[in-house]
Structures are given as C-alpha cells and as structure tokens.
Amino acid sequence: MISIRDNKQLNLFDPWAFLSAKRRRMLDEDWPGLFRKFLLDELPVNEMRRYFCENFGRPSKELYSVMGILLFQQTMNLTDKETTRQAAFNIEWHYALNITEESDSAKYISEKTLWSMRQKLMESRLDQLMFERISKKLGMVFKVDFKNQRIDSMHIKSNMRRLGRIGIFSQAIHKFLVNLKRHHRALFDAIPQGVVERYLTKKAMAAFSMVKPSESHKTLNSVSRDLFDLIKMFKDQAEVGSMQSYKLMQRVLEEQCELGDDGVAVKPASKIPADSLQNPSDPDAGYSGHKGQGYQVQVMETFTTTTDPKKKEETLNLITHVAVESACEHDSKALIPAIEETRRKDLKPENLTADSLYGCDENVQAADAAGVELIAPVMNGGKQNDITLKDFEFDDTGCVSCCPAGHKPKKVKQKANRFRAHFNRQHCMSCRHVDQCPVHPGKRGYYLRYTAKDYRLAKRRAFEQTDEFIEAYRWRAGVEATMSEYAATTGVKHLRVRGMKAVRFCATLKAIGVNIRRAVAVAKARRRNGRDFSASKSGRFMPFPIFKERFASFCLHLADFLPTNYITADSYGKLAA
C-alpha cells in the first residue's frame, strides 16, 4: 500500500521547537533548510504510484523520504550501510525531509528497501525527471540566466575490473558455465570435464591473470577455440540461445575473432572496434583510446561573464543537462541532443561554449538552426607555416576577392556548393609562398578549389584570431572547475555500480547534489550581502494567528461534547481568548 506524506499540511505545533535558536538557524541556513523549503515538494513521488496498491497490502516506506534518502546517498557518496545509519540518526536529513516522527517506520530503512526502491527509480528513469524538476526550481528561485552555457565531458568508471583479451574470453566462458549449471544441469553435464575444470574453478580462473607475455598468444588462441566450441555445441538449443551469458559469448566471438576454413582465428588488436565488450560483468561499457574503458558523462552548465566579485558569488552556475554514454562515443554527437533536451526543459542557451571536439561544421549549422550560437574553435587544419583558406579575402557571397599576396583572381566560378578561383599564372609562379599556398597549377593558370563548408571553416578560423572570439571563448575554461567539483565532492569518477541504467542514475543524482551545494553557497553569499534566504519564514508549522483562530474554534466545539457540570462554554471561550 502506497504511503505519501502531504508536505503542504501545516502542523498545529512546531515539531522542531526542541532545537535551540542557534541550532535551528544552522539548519535553516544550510542545505537542509534550502532542500526542505524549495526542493522537497519537487521529488516525483506521484510517478511511483504504479508500483504500489492504493488500499491493499503492507504500507510502503514514505516516498518523499525514500527519494530524498537516495538523493542524499549519491550526493554524499555513501554506501547502503552508511545511508541507513544516516537516515536513522542524522537530524540534518530528518529536517531536510520533514521527518518529525520517532518511529522506525519513519526513520529506519533497510538496505533491501534501498536496493528495491533504487531499482524502481532506475527502471522508470525518474532520476531524469528529478533532475529536471529540481534544476527548474533552483533556476526559478535563484533567477538563473540561461543565456550563456558551456558543455564538456568527463570519463567515469563503473565498478568493473580492467580485463585484457584473455580475461574477456575466460570471464565470458565462466559466466556462461555458471548460468548453465544453475538452470540447465543436464546440458551442463554434457560439457567435457577439461573445459569445466579450466573455467569454473577459482584456482584455474586465477591462472589466466598470471599468463606470461611470451605465452599470451598461445593462451588467447586456446580460450578462443574453447569459446567457439561452446557456442557451436549449443547453437541448436533454443533455451540456451536465449540466455544472456550465451549472447555475450557470441558477441565476444564476433568482435574478437574471425571465422575461416581452418576454424577460428583471433583478430589483430587494431581491428577490434571501440564499442567491443570490455567486461562481461558490464556489457554497456565502452573503450576510448584516449581515456580507457568505462563511460563518459556530458555536463552542460550556465555561467556568468561578470567580473564583479560580489555579483559573481551571488550568481548560481546551474547544471542544466547531464547525459551518460559509452566511452567510445565521440563528443560531437552529444551537442545537438543536449540542446534539444534543454529546449524541452525550457533551459535552452543562446550562446553555447565548447571545445574543438564539439565544434564541427555540422554542429555549428544545426545549433544555428536551433537558435543557438556555438562558440567553439575549429580542429587544427594544416601546418602552422602553411597558407590556408583563412588567409584569403572573401566577398559576402563566399567568393575569393584577393589572395594573401594581394592579387585578385581573374575569375571565380560557383556551382552549387563548390567554388573555383582562377589566378594569373605569372603572379603565382613568381610568388615566394607558392609552395605553401593551397592553389594548384592547371591548363590556363593556377586554381583554388574549395567548398561552402571549407569557406565556413576558414571564416571561423579567421574569427578565432580576433579579440572578440578570445573574450567569448575564455569562459569555457570554467567548466573544468565544475568537472573537478563534480568528481571531488560526489565520487562520480569511480562508481559502485555497473550497467548503463545504474551509472546514469548515480551520475544524474550526483549532478543534482552539485547544484544543491552551489545553491547553498549562493544563498549564504546573498545573506551576507543583505539578501535573506532563511527557510524558517515558510516553515512547515502553522503561523500563530491561524493557530489562535483554529484553537479558539476547537475549544468552543469541544464544550458541546462535555457534561454541563464539568466546564462551561464561557470558560472555554476565555481559555481560547
């Protein structure tokens, strides 16, 4: 049976009256007060109703409390055991979640409940909805300007072991044999005993990690043949073919091996795709040649261009977008989805700053079509001493009007998106820069051929040399501090979970934690400068005038139910007054 507390219901008496004024102020002016006042009601508890019955069964844990506890766990990078203890005894958590009871049902949560509720949130993708609602609420409360934003990515790792190719083969076989023994014992008994002894015992599996480099090629061929034989043995067994561990073996065979007339052969390492299986325990993880195995998280945040220290500390830099993807994905593919996502949430920027990995011409054109100016340098093209297209002068239509030596072309021809400029042969042959120039000799002179895309890139490269671009782009560096804060305060770089859903859940909730920490810092700065952000002004207890009126009414009605010789209505009226 579902259990949801109405946080808008006022209390007759202040349940936190036992706290001294100083302790209460400490809670109000830090993250518990801010969360309780602004964010508690934003948790998406109604979306969890489909998992519970309205009027039958054992009552669930109160959903506002559970969601808040899961959020605090990721924000503070706690284990399940540490989380249950904090939920039971930490008064900051109780104040933030408005838990006023002292019962076990209110303040105790088991590790099993944490696990099951976390699974429900992951399956429903409520972490994304929680991030969206809290981000929009903080943006509204702190009047965040979403005009200027910046984006970058960070490599993160799940709780998986780094395996070599031998380890990938052996672990895939081991995982399959364990599952086959558990679910299809008769089929498991048909496997040769030698294969079982090599891959099912702990001692034998440990031996694969101690293979000498000189014997690694031989061992790799051996394990690849064993994997191929197992796949071939059960290829006609429909029940086995539907097992996830069998599909993992098939994936390893397809990615790591080549089939020929002589049997199976291991592919060279250079031919293995970047999205190949890195560890059978985490099939969603990818590989980046620059950063290694794991995932990457895309983060977009707002920023201010003010140089006034007082205004800067009073401005909230809010993370507006978080997306987790495999480490093999290129950053350029993440830009347009990020813009579309922020547009859907009404958090879209007007100017988006990014590094050169995001700054391909296609992204610039797509961002411009979406109403966003992408400020990013072009990837390096050509040698530093070479003359490139950016050194030429162009007219408004994209046609070359003058070369770097000051000579005008004889003729410029445009066909669709392609241009051809015809230069005088004598001018080009006598030019001392002809060897570094992109013009090429032809039948009637020297020709410069380029496309509309080449023109746009040249125009951007020329703009990068201006003070205007340098001033606009210098703010991108601030996102590196955000990544450092994200990793240092939440532990996002090394997670305790595996799999895309779990990694996405943790990374998203940890980003919410960064936003809350920043909001608290801004609230304190504004309070120091005379702009109050006290949560006690709209607390969860009844204001005194309302309390006095309701208590008087209560006293007058109570007299009707008591014996006349016990106390008179007049007395109750005086008591109420």
Exposed (0-12), middle (13-18) or buried (19+): which is 8, by Cβ within 10 Å? exposed
d(CA 173, CA 159): 20
d(CA 263, CA 232): 11
Q: Where are the alpha helices (DSSP H) in 301-348?
A: 309-313, 335-344
Q: Are 373 and 351 in contact (CB under 8 A)?
A: yes
The domain boundary residue, chosen from 229, 254, 271: 271
Any domain includes 432: yes
Any domain includes 511: no
Q: Which amino acid, residue 46?
A: N
Number of domains in the chain: 3
Query: How far lies 352's CA from each of 28, 93, 302, 346, 367, in Å?
Result: 35, 37, 9, 15, 9
Q: What is the pLDDT of residues 490-525, one digit of tens each?
A: 999 999 999 999 999 999 999 999 999 999 999 999
Residues 307, 308, 310, 316, Cα dihedral to 10°: -40
* Per-residue tokens: 3: 């259990």
Do 453 and 549 lie in one domain? The reply is no
Q: What is the DSSP letter of 264?
A: E
Q: Which residues pair with 292 in a beta bridge?
A: 288
d(CA 456, CA 454): 6
d(CA 457, CA 346): 31
Q: What are phi and psi of 208, to 5 degrees?
A: -65, -25
Q: What is the 3-state secondary structure (H, E, C) of 37-48?
A: HHHHHHCCCHHH
Any domain includes 116: no
Any domain includes 520: no
Exposed (0-12), middle (13-18) or buried (19+): which is 489, by Cβ within 10 Å? middle
d(CA 74, CA 325): 19
d(CA 278, CA 293): 7
- Predicted pLDDT of residue 534: 47
Any domain includes 90: no
Q: Which residues pair with 440 in a beta bridge?
A: 447
Any domain includes 321: no
How would you classify the pairing of strands 400-402 and 319-326?
unpaired
Domain that holds residue 550: 544-576
Q: Which residues pair with 402 in a beta bridge?
A: 393
Mean pLDDT of the chain: 88
pLDDT means per 10 residues, the chain with 577 residues, are 82 87 93 95 92 84 94 96 96 95 92 95 95 96 95 95 89 93 93 89 75 84 91 91 93 90 83 88 89 93 92 94 95 95 94 94 95 92 70 88 89 89 89 87 89 90 91 94 96 95 97 97 91 50 59 63 52 51
d(CA 463, CA 277): 43
Q: Are 55 and 79 in contact (CB under 8 A)?
A: no
Any domain includes 364: no
Exposed (0-12), middle (13-18) or buried (19+): which is 364, by Cβ within 10 Å? buried
The domain boundary residue, chosen from 463, 484, 499: 463
Any domain includes 186: yes
The domain boundary residue, chosen from 436, 463, 490: 463
- Predicted pLDDT of residue 532: 64
